[in-house]
Structure 1
Amino acid sequence: MSEQQGYHGGGGYGTPPQHPYGQGNPYQQPAPYQQNPYQQQDPYQQNPYAQPVPPQPVLPQPVSPQYAPPPRAPLQPAPAQQAPAPQTPGGNPGGFPGPEPRRSRTAVLLQFTFQWIYAPLWIAALAALIALLLWAGGGGPSGPDSDAWLKVNRSFIPPRRLKAELTGRPEDWERYVAPILERRIRSAEAEYAAGAGDVAADLSRAMGVRLAVRLYRGLGAAGVVRLAERYGWHGVADGGDRNHVRLGRRFPAPAQIHAPGPQDPPAAPGTPWGPRPGRFALLLPVILVLQVVYVPVYCLSTFWLDRTEPDYWDRWGARWAVGPRAFWAELTGGAAAWDRHVRRILARDIRQDAARDKGPDRGVVAADGTFVRRIRINLATYRGAGAQQVLRIAAEHGWHLDPAYTPQPEVCVRLCRTDRATPAQAPA
């Protein structure tokens, strides 16, 4: 059979069969109505008066709650992966050890009992040794380099600590160390207000506090850091020293400094930056003679006492003492005498500061090798001249008011000057 052979007159294999009654293929699609005169006609082109219809906004159609898709929750950022806190051998985070091993109750009771005997003997021996050193002068025996042998309180157990040593409970240690920590922190903050602290490059100042392990043995350094955070302080790593815990806090630089410039008009007498009222002239010779006696007594009586103001000596000395160089200027009250006295003291302090070694311990060293020198002029130096006169004379030597400290012209004037370190001392 040839390939042209079909079935019932079909066109060959693969051709749809024709209907036997000649009515065509019922599955074939009918031809479009070509005779429709309106097909493929644009009504807007036929109507010359028709206007284009602007596009209408598509309004959302209401959807039945049954078929509505569930609401999608807002995307939340993935939590950042935080580095795990460093762990110590004791298992405490932050790098600070936990409670130390308890001491033997027998040893604690024996030390508490016998300390009332050896502590007075220790103090008497120290007094005798100091008297021997003073009597022998430079040729006498010399003590050790460390002053640990002078700290009698280090081997003394106060009654308030006895309960914590015997029980070893952290809550008892916390009740004991909390007042001590608060007192140390308040004292450090008072020292900061008086001008203490290490000045940083951004003019902020850092203060530090250190506690010995005997004060927090059952609480641990981590517990002390937790208590310090209540006051805004934080723990400082000390290179694995388990005998002490260090705390620190950085205070920002003063936001604004209100002070007159060296070229401003002189401040009025009695104002903070103007001349201060002088003391009674007839009283000055008496103060000059008697201070030889009562100044050493004052120093010895206040050596072991905690004062609320660390610069109390400067305030007290400005009232009840007079320097031999300032005696004539204060006795006469002349502006020329005070000017000579201020220039003499300022030149002496600048000369002494220049003789000191240059380095990071003398100021903040910048990348270009510059650092800041700082000196302090007390009230007794410029009482009759005024603090503004100090600024005027200091400006002649390139010194100006230190912006790292809040000005206190009624107590002192702090000055600074940018200097350049030697190449060997400049940072790499």
Structure 2
Amino acid sequence: MTERQGQYGGAGGNGGPQPYPYGQQANPYGQGAPNPYAQQPNPYAQGAPNPYAQPGPYPQQPNPYAQPNPYAQPAPAQPAPVAQPAPQARPVAPTAPAVPGPPAAALPADRYPGPGPRRNRAAVLLQFTLQWIYAPLWIAALAALFAILLWSGGGGPSGPDSDAWLKVNRTFIPPRRLKAELTGSPEDWERYLTPILERRVRAAEVKHAAGDGEVCDDLSRVMLVKFPVRLYRGLGAAGVVRLAGRYGWEGGSAGPDPDRVWIRRVFPAPAAVSAPGPHDPPAAPGTPWGPRPGRPAFLLPFMLVLQIAYVPVYGVLSLLLFQGRHPQPDYWDRWGARWAVGPCAFWAEFSGSAAAWERHIRRVLARPNSGHATRDGRSRINLATYRGAGAQRALRIAAEKGYVLDPAYTPEPEACVRLLYRPQQG
């Protein structure tokens, strides 16, 4: 037997049998012994608190090096919050504005340019002298052109797209402006512009009273007045805005065109005025909201025939004498309700039938551009449309089509009824 054999379990060898080094030993993981690799509770298992679940700053530890600040001020005591009662829901009227809000603010005065460059004195004197010659010739040429267009049935020559060639006054220097053009003094320009500005401002206020103006979200209305540069060249746009402030107006938006300036005034929403609802008891005849007295039936046929002649004649005379300007912007609507007869309303007024008037009102409201319709759903119907039925009856018929009484205007049933299209949300 070799020496190796005797060393690992042989019978002989060096010193006899030796113990086998890899023999069976006591199992340290045997039965009853704890297993250090046994399954331990998972700290991230479901239900266990995750220390990283809530992101946030680490808790602040006290700074051992912090020193007291000798300049620190004690924090003021905060009053305890007072519990506010929950706001109660208020019923919204069907005519309330959808998104109330004030109109845009005006620009500051320094955003407007000052006086412009003066014109050449010789050129101004030459234009002032020659205008007495070419202005009458210009007007005669325009009259001849209109006559040709009238007799040719609209097939005569046509002018450019712009209407500037029709405005002779744009190239005319009145004697009141001649001094301001020659001197270039801001004082002379102010004396010339002040009466023009006052006249245009008063006319705009009258138009507002008649229902003109751009309606804002809060039911206020904005009126605008434009001034071309020839009226304020030596004063500047800033001077126009300064003069407008004397009358309660302010500068409008400065547009891209430097040859004109706008002024504006914001008129607040009208005060609430009691008006009958569409389903209230009918108004009595002769009252503002009730049926109006009709014209004699025997006169209506004569008016229907003769109005073909006297309506154009009165229009031409009004244009020549008053230049088409009247104190009320809706003057022609009021005049037509008194002195004209609509062919569609003839039978309703002649017969005096309530059913005929109702059919006439429905026909007018069914038109795509009924009355004076606008893009924002506002329209109006005049007295000639509902004379024999009454304004309240017109409101009841209009309510069936989704119209309500416009809250942006003071009701004026003796002249017209202003409507706002607001269908019920189903």
| Structure 1 residues 271 and 402: CA distance shift in structure 2, 3 A | same
Give the alignment partner of residue 362 of structure 1, picking from 372, 375, 386: 375
Within the alignment, does 1:412 sit opposite 2:416 as a pair?
yes
Which residue number in structure 1 is paired with residue 94 of structure 2?
A: none
Give the residue type in structure 2 aligned to 1:124. A
Kept in 1: contact 2:179–2:188 (CA 8 A): yes
Which residue number in structure 2 is paired with residue 274 of structure 1?
A: 290
Which residue number in structure 2 is paired with residue 20 of structure 1?
A: none
How far residue 307 of structure 1 moved from its aligned partner, in angstroms, is 1.4
Give the residue type in structure 1 aligned to 2:198. E
How far residue 166 of structure 1 moved from its aligned partner, in angstroms, is 1.7
Within the alignment, does 1:261 sit opposite 2:277 as a pair?
yes
Give the alignment partner of residue 300 of structure 1, picking from 300, 316, 324: 316
Which residue number in structure 2 is paired with residue 352 of structure 1?
A: 369
Kept in 1: contact 2:275–2:411 (CA 8 A): yes
Which residue number in structure 2 is paired with residue 205 of structure 1?
A: 221
Which residue number in structure 1 is paired with residue 330 of structure 2?
A: 311
Give the residue type in structure 1 aligned to 2:327. T
Kept in 2: contact 1:407–1:413 (CA 8 A): yes
Give the residue type in structure 2 aligned to 1:312. Y
How far residue 353 of structure 1 moved from its aligned partner, in angstroms, is 6.0
How far residue 279 of structure 1 moved from its aligned partner, in angstroms, is 1.1
Q: Deviations over 1:347-397 (max 9, x none)?
A: 22xx3369x9xxxx812xxxxxxxxx1111100011111100001111111
Between the aligned partners of 1:212 and 1:180, the Cα distance in structure 2 is: 12
Within the alignment, does 1:338 sit opposite 2:354 as a pair?
no
Which residue number in structure 1 is paired with residue 146 of structure 2?
A: 130
Q: Secondary structure at the match of 1:250?
A: strand
| Structure 1 residues 268 and 214: CA distance shift in structure 2, 3 A | same
* TM-score, with length taken from structure 2: 0.70
* Paired positions, count: 315
Which residue number in structure 2 is paired with residue 7 of structure 1?
A: none
Between the aligned partners of 2:325 and 2:195, the Cα distance in structure 1 is: 15
Give the alignment partner of residue 404 of structure 2, picking from 396, 400, 403: 400
Within the alignment, does 1:322 sit opposite 2:341 as a pair?
yes
Give the residue type in structure 1 aligned to 2:378. R
| Structure 1 residues 353 and 314: CA distance shift in structure 2, 3 A | closer
Kept in 1: contact 2:107–2:251 (CA 8 A): no
Could you tell me which runs of 5 or more consecutive residues in structure 2 were left unpaired when the two chains were aligned: 1-105
Which residue number in structure 1 is paired with residue 57 of structure 2?
A: none
Kept in 2: contact 1:257–1:403 (CA 8 A): no
Which residue number in structure 2 is paired with residue 383 of structure 1?
A: 387
| Structure 1 residues 407 and 231: CA distance shift in structure 2, 3 A | same
Kept in 1: contact 2:364–2:370 (CA 8 A): no
Which residue number in structure 2 is paired with residue 221 of structure 1?
A: 237
Kept in 2: contact 1:112–1:156 (CA 8 A): yes
Between the aligned partners of 2:244 and 2:162, the Cα distance in structure 1 is: 29
Give the alignment partner of residue 174 of structure 2, picking from 149, 153, 158: 158
Give the residue type in structure 1 aligned to 2:334. R
Give the residue type in structure 2 aligned to 1:162. L
How far residue 315 of structure 1 moved from its aligned partner, in angstroms, is 0.9
Q: Deviations over 1:230-263 (max 9, x none)?
A: 1111112323432101111121211203210111
Q: Percent of aligned positions with the same letter in both sequences?
A: 70
Within the alignment, does 1:168 sit opposite 2:172 as a pair?
no
Kept in 1: contact 2:370–2:381 (CA 8 A): no
Q: Secondary structure at the match of 1:376?
A: strand
How far residue 300 of structure 1 moved from its aligned partner, in angstroms, is 3.0
Within the alignment, does 1:237 sit opposite 2:256 as a pair?
no
Which residue number in structure 2 is paired with residue 249 of structure 1?
A: 265
Could you tell me which runs of 5 or more consecutive residues in structure 1 were left unpaired when the two chains were aligned: 1-84, 88-92, 364-372, 421-428
| Structure 1 residues 86 and 343: CA distance shift in structure 2, 3 A | closer
* TM-score, with length taken from structure 1: 0.70
Between the aligned partners of 1:182 and 1:214, the Cα distance in structure 2 is: 17
| Structure 1 residues 114 and 379: CA distance shift in structure 2, 3 A | same
How far residue 138 of structure 1 moved from its aligned partner, in angstroms, is 4.5
Kept in 1: contact 2:226–2:263 (CA 8 A): yes
Between the aligned partners of 1:321 and 1:108, the Cα distance in structure 2 is: 49
Q: Secondary structure at the match of 2:316?
A: helix
Kept in 1: contact 2:403–2:423 (CA 8 A): no
Which residue number in structure 2 is paired with residue 184 of structure 1?
A: 200
Kept in 2: contact 1:112–1:157 (CA 8 A): yes
Instruction: State the Cα RMSD in Å.
Output: 2.2
Between the aligned partners of 1:388 and 1:419, the Cα distance in structure 2 is: 19
Kept in 2: contact 1:95–1:237 (CA 8 A): no
Q: Deviations over 1:49-87 (max 9, x none)?
A: xxxxxxxxxxxxxxxxxxxxxxxxxxxxxxxxxxxx999
Within the alignment, does 1:100 sit opposite 2:113 as a pair?
no
Q: Secondary structure at the match of 2:411?
A: coil
How far residue 228 of structure 1 moved from its aligned partner, in angstroms, is 0.5
How far residue 419 of structure 1 moved from its aligned partner, in angstroms, is 6.3
Q: Secondary structure at the match of 2:303?
A: helix
